[in-house]
Structure 1
Amino acid sequence: MSAEIPAAEAAGIPAAETPARETPARETPAGGAVPGFDLRHHGDAEVRGADAGLTDLAVNVRAGTPPRWLKDRIAASLDGLAAYPDGRAARAAVAACHGVPEGRVLLTAGAAEAFVLIARALPARRPVVVHPQFTEPEAALRDAGHTVERVLLDERDGFRLDPAAVPDDADLVVVGNPTNPTSVLHPAAALAELARPGRTLVVDEAFMDAVPGEPASLASRTDVPGLVVLRSLTKTWGLAGLRIGYVLADPGIVAALERVQPLWPVSTPALAAAEACCAPDALAEAARAAERAAADRAYLAERLGEFAEAGLRVCGPAAGPFLLIRLPDAAAIRTRLRELGFAVRRGDTFPGLGPDWLRLAVRDRDTTDRFVIALAKALQDG
């Protein structure tokens, strides 16, 4: 499977300024054209500066969070702000949570920081990012001077991963599971099949704790060569403003990432949150939240099925706390929904998608019912 080399690269423009090379799962686009995408557009842009009455379906952070007990734990940590952060207890808590040695854990300022560390610390001759997925990994790699290739998963296959689509000589592969924005959960066996000597396999599990039972997680695996698993505590616990996540990997990889990390990268309040969220009671609460999210997602998908005649299609089966939908004239519908009080995530900034795609965060049933009324009006007004 070959990839087109951008004309800009051939002309000698530095790699960080060139578009990514694409390796589609089925065929090269006509003429080898590489579409441009705003890799730094994220869901928060849809609600930044918005009126207080705007219902947020654009950001995949669980509503009603953080819970009171977690706020209290974070607030209690403020008495220790005069001292430099000490991550030993939080690191031990994360290690115990996943049943791995502490040397396999690196705490980070959110999972997004981990992508930057990987791009800067790990050598890669042929990095590949599997799309559609969270765009920050590719942006970080490009910023670090890498020329990135894209493997585009196919809508006709339900955006499912085919390990054979990844070039054999790719030495750094990034894939999300469950994938943002498709909500597809790739089987653990399919992901493990991507591992091989000399390759770093990065699996972004930022939303895995929102999947009941986490059946496809590789977080506790120590037998997969080159595996790097990224986790986030910001989605389930409503801590996006605090920035806390972690890396699970071989101690050698952890040490390499830590060497390029700034001193004291994770604040004392974030460390307190990490330790608290790994406690048994917190894990049980997260498991209950995942079950509720799955039920609410099924209800949202059912209600969206009422618009099939309008051309609306739900990508599925879905496993994350969000749904990807395809809808004719989605850009205009998104604008009308905003006027009706709902923010949704545009899909055209994700490589492999286009202007007819929207992502919807899963909320409670009352919110879904209100959204369906607004969506019907937005379609009618069109």
Structure 2
Amino acid sequence: MDTHIPMRTEPEHDLRHHGDAEVRDDGSSLVDLAVNVRADTPPDWLREHIAGSLAALAAYPDGRDARAAVAARHGLPVERVLLTAGAAEAFVLLARALKVRRPLVVHPQFTEPEAALRDAGHTVDRVLLRAEDGFRLDPAAVPEDADLVVIGNPTNPTSVLHRADAITRLARPGRTLVVDEAFMDAVPGEREALAGRTDVPGLVVLRSLTKTWGLAGLRIGYVLAAPGTVAELERAQPLWPVSTPALAAAEACVAPRALAEAAHAAHRIAADRDRLVAGLRGFASAGLRVVEPAEGPFVLVRLPRAAAVRRRLRDLGYAVRRGDTFPGLDEEWLRLAARDRATTDGFLRALGQALTV
């Protein structure tokens, strides 16, 4: 696999652009396919549980029960768990707390890890996976002297689910291997997950509870890593970094009832995504190509004049995520969130109009 490795380049992409920017100004008038948060969330029972925690706001947050619940969910000791204000905080902690010489990010992927590393003063290398290879990971493309490697699985925005054994081949003594599994609970059976593994040297797994449960505004996620790494990251956190309502959500979202509901949702999301992919294949004659197989709750597509199509879709009432802010992609790429049947069918009709203008 001929994987291109630019050496220590300055970012030419807008690493701080995220899907919410597509709907922030006039989102109430747009159907949102730009943000990868499950649309029918949070469920009523979770809203009520979070609301019930408000009676305890006079006390400082106590994360011990939530931390123990997350540890139990993954079969780990609590010393291997760190609760964070969303997975994004974990990227900042990793960038600031760990002493690394040559960090590397595998792209295209979520841009916040690289942005956090650069903000902390690091020079960041990249491995760019290629569309011609299906954006598949070649472990041999990562330089041996990279002492921190970041990869998403399933990867945002490509929706590629890398094999666990391919990712673990990146592990080395003296290397921190960060695997962003923010969307893994949207994969039926969480196949290829590394959360809970303790046999991979230097492994750090990040999880988010904001995507499946619709809690982006609450900010809750967690880190799974060796106790020494967790301790380093915890020392870099401010006091009481996770609020009482977020702690209540964390404990609830890893309970057996919630895990069963998330597993059911993963199958529904997969069906919704497959319907979207099937519909998108119908536009092949217009030059549209879908990255397949898609395994996350979103799909990546390439089409001519994608920027103009995105603007036409906005005029027709639909917001989609531009792809050119991701290293390794350009303005011909768009990311589309999987939605329910009615939303998908309406979007496909709008896409047909946008492609014929």
Residue 73 of structure 1 aligns with an amino acid whose one-letter code is: H
Q: Percent identity?
A: 75
Aligned twin of 1:26 = 3
Match of 2:146 in 1: 170
Output the CA distance in 2 between the equivalents of 1:266 and 1:36. Answer: 33
Indicate the SS of the match to 1:173.
strand
Q: Does 1:375 align with 2:325?
A: no
Give the secondary-structure state (helix, strand or coil) at the position aligned to 2:162. coil
TM-score, structure 2 normalization: 0.98
State the Cα distance separating 1:263 from its structure 2 match: 0.2
Does residue 282 of structure 2 align to residue 306 of structure 1? yes
CA 1:28/1:132 → structure 2, altered by over 3 Å: closer, same or farther? Answer: closer
Kindly indicate whether residue 130 of structure 2 is the aligned counterpart of residue 154 of structure 1: yes
Q: Which residue of 2 aligns with 1:17?
A: none
How far did 1:256 drift?
0.1
Distance 1:376 1:165 in 2: 39
Matches within 5 A, 1:199-210: 199-210=175-186
Q: Is the 8 A contact 1:183 1:321 kept in 2?
A: yes
The one-letter amino acid of 1:290's match is A
Superposition pairs of residues 187-206 of structure 1, within 5 angstroms: 187-206=163-182
Q: What's the CA shift string for 1:306-339, capped at 9, x where partnerless?
A: 1000000000111100000001000000000001
Kindly provide the amino acid, as one letter, of the partner of residue 26 in structure 1.
T
Alignment CA distance shift 1:35-1:113 (3 Å): closer
Query: Does the 8 A contact of 1:47 with 1:56 survive in 2?
Result: yes
Letter in 2 for 1:68: D
Contact 1:25–1:152 (CA under 8 A) maintained in structure 2: no
User: What is the SS of the residue equivalent to 1:271?
Assistant: helix
Instruction: Compute the displacement of 1:351 (Å).
Output: 0.1
1:180 aligns with 2:181: no
Which residue of structure 1 lines up, in the alignment, with residue 328 of structure 2? 352
Question: 5+ residue gaps in structure 2?
Answer: none
* 1:273 and 2:249 aligned: yes
The one-letter amino acid of 1:153's match is: L
Measure the CA separation in 1 of the matches of 2:311 and 2:212.
28
Q: SS at the partner of 1:52?
A: helix
Structure 1: stretches of 5+ with no match in the other structure? 1-23
Match of 2:102 in 1: 126
State whether structure 2 residue 270 is matched by structure 1 residue 294: yes
Distance 1:311 1:213, change over 3 A: same
| Counterpart in the other structure of 1:89 | 65
CA contact (8 A) 2:95 2:116 kept: yes
Distance 1:224 1:342, change over 3 A: same
Shift of 1:52: 1.7
User: Aligned partners of 1:179, 1:68: CA distance in 2, in Å?
Assistant: 29
Moved over 2 A (4+): 24-29, 31-35
How many residues are matched? Answer: 357
What is the Cα deviation at residue 53 of structure 1? 2.6
How far off is 1:210 after superposition? 0.3
How far did residue 25 of structure 1 move? 5.2
Asked whether the 8 Å contact 1:91–1:106 carries over to 2, the reply is yes
Tell me, yes or no, if the aligned pair for 1:25 and 1:151 is still in contact at 8 Å: no
Note the 1:209-358 alignment, pairs <5 A. Answer: 209-358=185-334
Matches of 1:265 and 1:237, distance apart in 2: 20
1:267 aligned partner, one-letter code: S
Partner residue, 1:8: none
1:246-281 deviations in Å (ceiling 9; x for gaps) = 000000000000000000000000000000001101
Deviations along 1:351-372, whole A, 9 cap, x unmatched?
0000000000000111110001
CA–CA distance in structure 2, aligned partners of residues 104 and 27 of structure 1: 35
- Name the CA distance, whole Å, in 1 between partners of 2:270 and 2:208: 19
Q: Which secondary structure does the structure 1 equivalent of 2:190 belong to?
A: coil
Q: Is the 8 A contact 1:43 1:59 kept in 2?
A: yes
Question: How far apart are residue 51 of structure 1 and its match?
Answer: 4.6
The match for 2:19 is 43
Superposition CA RMSD, Å: 1.4
- State the secondary structure of the residue aligned to 2:282: helix
Q: SS at 2:222's partner residue?
A: strand
Task: Give how far 1:49 is off.
Answer: 1.9
